[in-house]
Amino acid sequence: MSGLSGTVVAEKLPTAPVPAPRRGSFLPPFRWIFPATTLGLILFIILPPITLLSLSVNDRFDLVWGIFPAGVSFDLYRESGPAILRSVAHSMRIAVPTVILSFLVGLPVAYALVRLRFPGRGLLAELVNLPLVFPPIVLAFGLMQMFKQGPFAGVSPWVAIVLGHTIVSLPFMIQPIIAALQRVDIAVEDAARSLGASPLRAFLTTVLPIIVPSVLTGVALVFARSISDFEITLLLTTPEISTMPIAIYQAFESGSTRLGAAVAMATNLFAVGVIVILEVAVRRVRWW
């Protein structure tokens, strides 16, 4: 991509007079296309959730202009409080083990890919991203067969969901750690080992503290992937398990749009809040 760098070319070019703007066109200036597209996209992204928020706090079904609440009431949040808390607890019961398992499995893979040379390394580097593109419905179908009728038929559905989430989340943990390890000088680790530290101790005391921000980024990404997962959970879940996306889906499917909106907004607030806190933590740790 050497052609992308045009600094040298620009320096040698003679300065030509800027042509006068063409008159007579009714079209807006070309440069307006970019902010206009951006504004359109932003409205497209924020208006539907704002409408759902209005619906969840409106004291009746109809909204003013279909967007704004006529009167504010938090009754729906009070009514659906236990269901919301239950879905948050269920999501956390799946997301936390998923994050821990992804870290324990992903960290050694990232380390091996960056630091070690071994036969099959290229293939493994490709396979790391396979769960990212593999159709979730096919993955969930295979897991459903294994855990409902197959060799793991007696295993708890919680375990099946955690394993399903872990498989699809692993690339989100492995990639940031790979990027961080590539920036850490191997001499740091070698120095610790030359002073008598075991390989594990050298890694834990010299490398791990440096890559903590990237590990936290991985944690945030895996957490976000897990708590927002709907497609895998829907096939593996049982009536007793109601994660946040499943609770939202069930509330809307039951025909209660306003209740669904309240559950959706409360769970959204929780999901986005936790991820923002993790992001802030990453920035703090980087700065420190």
Q: Can you tell me which of 76, 84, 162, 167 binds another protein, judged by CB under 8 A? A: 167
Distance in angstroms (rounded) separating the CA atoms of residues 135 and 194: 47
Task: List Cβ neighbours of 221 (8 Å cut-off, separation of 6 or more).
Answer: 169, 172, 173, 176
Report, in Å, the least distance between residue 101 CB and another protein: 9
- The answer to whether 103 and 173 are in contact (CB under 8 A) is yes
What x-and-dash track marks residues 47-66 binding another protein by CB under 8 A? Answer: xxx-xx--x-----xxx-xx
- The answer to whether 174 and 109 are in contact (CB under 8 A) is yes
151 binds another protein per the rule CB under 8 A: yes
Q: Which is nearer to another protein, 130 or 191 (CB)?
A: 130
- The answer to whether 64 and 72 are in contact (CB under 8 A) is no
Residues 8-27 that bind another protein (CB under 8 A): 9-10, 13, 15-19, 22
Angle between helices 33-57 and 257-287 (to 10 degrees): 120
- The answer to whether 136 and 168 are in contact (CB under 8 A) is yes
Q: Which is nearer to another protein, 192 or 232 (CB)?
A: 232
Residues forming a β-bridge with 64: 68
Q: Can you tell me which of 24, 119, 122, 209 binds another protein, judged by CB under 8 A? A: 119
Q: Which is nearer to another protein, 175 or 206 (CB)?
A: 175
- Report residue 68: phi and psi, to 5°: -95, 145
Task: Tell me the number of residues near another protein by CB under 8 A.
Answer: 109
Options 77-85, 144-152, 187-195, 280-288: segment touching another protein (CB under 8 A):
144-152
Distance in angstroms (rounded) separating the CA atoms of residues 29 and 183: 44
Residues 180-199 that bind another protein (CB under 8 A): none
Report, in Å, the least distance between residue 33 CB and another protein: 6
Q: Is 64 helix (H, G, I), strand (E, B) or coil?
A: strand
What x-and-dash track marks residues 208-227 binding another protein by CB under 8 A? Answer: ----------------x--x
Residues 77-116 that bind another protein (CB under 8 A): 104-106, 108-109, 111-112, 116
In the 8-state DSSP scheme, what is residue 207? I
Options 70-78, 92-100, 127-135, 183-191: segment touching another protein (CB under 8 A):
127-135
Report, in Å, the least distance between residue 92 CB and another protein: 14
Distance in angstroms (rounded) separating the CA atoms of residues 140 and 97: 18
Q: Can you tell me which of 76, 143, 207, 219 binds another protein, judged by CB under 8 A? A: 143
For residues 190, 191, 196 and 200, what is the CA-based torsion angle, rounded to 10 degrees? -50
For residues 179, 185, 188 and 190, what is the CA-based torsion angle, rounded to 10 degrees? 100
Options 40-48, 70-78, 190-198, 204-212: segment touching another protein (CB under 8 A):
40-48
Residues 225-244 that bind another protein (CB under 8 A): 227-228, 230-231, 234-235, 244
Q: Which is nearer to another protein, 95 or 192 (CB)?
A: 95
Task: Estimate to the nearest angstrom the gap between the alpha carbon of 68 and the chain centroid.
Answer: 30
